[in-house]
Amino acid sequence: MTASFAGLSLARPLIMGIINVTPDSFSDGGLALDPAEAIARGRMLLDDGADILDVGGESTRPGAEPVPVEVELERVLPVVRGLAGGGAVVSMDTRKAQVMEAALAAGAAIINDVTALTGDRRSLEVAAGNGAAVVLVHMRGVPGTMQDDPRYDDAAKEVFGYLSGRVAVCEAAGIERSRIAVDPGIGFGKTVDHNTGILGRLDLYRELGCALLIGVSRKTFIARLSKGEPPCQRLAGSLAAALAGVARGVHILRVHDVAETRQALDVWEAIGGT
């Protein structure tokens, strides 16, 4: 197992703070659409304990429509420059090679792609050629239709097989495993049962020899396991799922609520979490 990812030690769980520079993200769309507001949010998340800042300019919530590349670039590049220029480790959440390329030139260190570098024919080349770290996410279908009756015989095993294949493709292109994190894509083309089945078997993904990332923060499956709460009322479930993931070997947590997640991890570790 690699000991680091994007220059960050994996000796303890890392927190990836979410900065959505979008009007329509499921939980916080419109809250940081202005670049100055997004940069201020990023600095706050760093103060709260974030190790990585994940900047996104296109929503990938269920039912979301793609945005033109020019719009995405206009949204994210000032934010990437502002945060990376201040020393932050910035991740670019995008499925477009042109956005990846521009963000890396602006100082981003990580590409976080919900299509696992399959959504654009140039994505693999851009990632390999620029020395970027990459997050390979499993998603069945596209955001607009991914929740239309997704089916698996064994979700955890099938997602593992897909990610294993993508890691092999990346290695063949010259991207070492030390530059790769895998994300089973909770909520991306999966039912509640699929999500909980995957979360219960996260130790399976450690066999890939890559950093393991999960994004469970405020997601719909939490509300469906509870009382149907809106996204802003799903913190307790988010923390429960995050700690369950860390107990099963997760290295990176992608979250909206950084301060609360840091506190939960600090307490968990202090009482013997491993």
Residues 48-99: tens digit of each pLDDT: 999 999 999 998 877 777 889 999 999 999 999 999 999 999 999 999 999 9
Q: Could you give the CA distance from residue 17 to residue 253 in angstroms, rounded to a whole number? A: 8
Would you mind telling me the total number of residues written for the chain in this entry?
274
Which tens digit of pLDDT belongs to each residue from 125-160? 999 999 999 999 999 877 767 787 788 999 999 999
pLDDT at position 225: 97
H or E element, residue 37? helix 35-48
Q: Domain spanning 11-270: which superfamily?
A: Dihydropteroate synthase-like (3.20.20.20)
pLDDT at position 26: 45
pLDDT at position 203: 95
Q: Report CA torsion sign: 239, 241, 244, 248.
A: negative
Q: Which residues are catalytic?
A: 219, 254
Half-sphere exposure of 94 (CA within 13 A, CB side): 37
> How far apart, in Å, are the Cα atoms of 46 and each of 18, 52, 220, 267, 274?
11, 8, 26, 19, 24
> How far apart, in Å, are the Cα atoms of 212 and each of 83, 135, 136, 174, 254?
24, 9, 10, 20, 11
pLDDT at position 140: 87
The percentage of the chain sitting over the pLDDT mark of 90, rounded to a whole number, equals: 85
pTM for this prediction: 0.94
In terms of phi and psi (left: phi > 0; alpha: psi -120 to 50; beta: otherwise), the region of 87 is left
Confidence grade of residue 29 (pLDDT, cut at 50, 70, 90): very low
